[in-house]
């Protein structure tokens, strides 16, 4: 079956717009809207400076918003405290089997090895059947949005998506200098940081925004947590 639908649809649109040929509004609009290289760099600079200078303000706002959407937040000052807090959560949930990202910071603090010594098992996201058995998933936030209490996770070969999705409990470790004020600044940053994983020039297969645990209001509008995704979200903020 050979279908001409592509051409048909484009032609119908063109005729509907009273045009004879395609007008690539696309690029024109894009370049008109984006500013010059220098302006972009300046704007990036401002956003980055804000992240540092307004850190404690953003931190408060972020924690406040996470709590509002039924997430748990916890500030820690050292790597040991991270391990301590994770251990506490593991014990509270009587967890046997975990899944964890092999990402930069988590590797650096050897969280997996630490937990393995404690006798915990790890499953691989390669197998969805195994993942379905995991009690807790541990990830690392790439960015946070203060205004909405959101963590942003960028999928790549070390950061699979199902670890923040399938286990009933999700622990995300974030750093306090990754908090951005609002989504507008975040998208600007993502769109203009060349070469970094997740940026526009190098978009990975998925970027996920997570704001609180999975929820539904589909039965008489009463909010129920954990309908499909994790029922609990714990965010550990590392503020060194």
Partner 1 sequence: MENIKLSFEKDSAIALKNIKLQRALNKAIDQFRNVRWRAVREFQDWEQLRVSARRIKEWTIDHLDGYLEMLEANVINAGGNVHWASDANEACEIILDIAQKHKVKSVVKSKSMATEEIELNHSFEGAGIKVVETDLGEYIIQLANERPSHIIAPAIHKTKDDISKLFVEKLNTPYFNEPEDLTKIAREKLRNEFLNADMGVSGVNFSVAETGTIVIVENEGNARLTTTVPRIHVALMGIEKVIPRFEDLPIFLNILIRSATGQKMSTYVSLITGPKRNSDLDGPEEFHLVIMDNGRSKILSNEETRESLYCIRCGACLYICPVYKKVGGHSYGWVYQGPIGAIITPQLLGIDKASDLPFASSLCGACKDVCPVKINIPRVLLELRARVINDKRVGARFLLRIAVKLWRFTMENTSFYNLALRLSYILQKPWIRHGRLVSLPFPFSRWTKKRDFPAISKIPFRKQWKEIKDLEF
Interaction residues for partner 1, span 150-189 (CB under 8 A): 150, 155-157, 160-162, 165-166, 182-184, 186-188
Given candidates 20, 33, 52, 117, which one binds partner 1 under the rule CB under 8 A?
33
Cα distance between residue 174 and residue 145, in whole Å:
11
14 near partner 1, judged by CB under 8 A: yes
Q: Does 25 bind partner 1 (CB under 8 A)?
A: yes
Number of chain residues interacting with partner 1 (CB under 8 A)? 78
- Residue 212 CB, nearest distance to partner 1 (Å)? 6
Return the residues of window 120-139 that contact partner 1 according to CB under 8 A. 124-126, 128-129, 131-132
Q: Which residues contact 121 (CB under 8 A, 6 or more apart)?
A: 96, 97, 98
For position 23 contacting partner 1 by CB under 8 A, the verdict is yes
Q: Which two tokens stand for residue 49?
A: 């400076």
Paired with 23 in beta bridges are none
**Pick 72 or 208: Cβ nearer partner 1:** 208
Nearer to partner 1, 52 or 221 (CB): 221
Residues 60-79 that bind partner 1 (CB under 8 A): 65, 69
Contacts of 166 (CB under 8 A, 6+ apart): 99, 128, 131, 132, 134, 137
- Compute the distance between CA of residue 4 and CA of residue 133 in angstroms, rounded to an integer: 47
* Residue 239 interacts with partner 1 (CB under 8 A): yes or no: no
Stretch that binds partner 1, among 4-12, 52-60, 88-96, 113-121 (CB under 8 A): 4-12
Pick between residue 87 and residue 199 the one whose CB is nearest to partner 1: 199
Give me the count of residues in the chain: 240
What residue spans of 17-150 are helical by DSSP H?
25-33, 37-53, 55-68, 79-92, 104-108, 111-117, 128-133
Neighbour tally for 212: CB within 10 Å: 22
35 near partner 1, judged by CB under 8 A = no
Considering only residues 194 through 213, tell me which ones interact with partner 1, judged by CB under 8 A.
200, 203-213
Whether 157 and 191 have beta carbons less than 8 Å apart is answered as no
């Amino acid at each position: 079956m050979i279908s001409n639908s592509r051409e048909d649809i484009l032609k119908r649109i063109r005729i509907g717009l009273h045009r004879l040929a395609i007008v690539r509004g696309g690029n024109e609009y894009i370049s008109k809207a984006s500013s010059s290289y220098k302006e972009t760099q300046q704007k990036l600079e401002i956003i980055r400076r804000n992240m540092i200078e307004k850190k404690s303000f953003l931190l408060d706002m972020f924690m406040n918003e996470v709590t509002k959407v039924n997430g748990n937040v916890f500030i820690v000052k050292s790597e040991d405290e991270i391990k301590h807090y994770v251990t506490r959560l593991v014990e509270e949930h009587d967890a046997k089997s975990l899944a964890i990202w092999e990402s930069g910071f988590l590797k650096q603090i050897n969280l997996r090895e630490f937990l393995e010594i404690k006798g915990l098992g790890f499953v691989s996201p390669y197998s969805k059947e195994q993942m379905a058995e995991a009690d807790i998933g541990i990830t690392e936030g790439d960015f946070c949005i203060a205004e909405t209490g959101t963590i942003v996770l960028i999928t790549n070969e070390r950061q699979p998506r199902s670890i923040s999705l399938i286990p009933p409990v999700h622990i995300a470790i974030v750093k306090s200098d990754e908090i951005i004020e609002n989504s507008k600044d975040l998208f600007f940053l993502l769109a203009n940081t060349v070469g970094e994983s997740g940026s526009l020039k190098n978009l990975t297969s998925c970027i996920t925004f997570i704001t609180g645990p999975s929820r539904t209001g589909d039965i008489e509008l009463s909010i129920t947590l954990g309908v499909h995704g994790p029922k609990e979200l714990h965010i550990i903020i590392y503020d060194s």
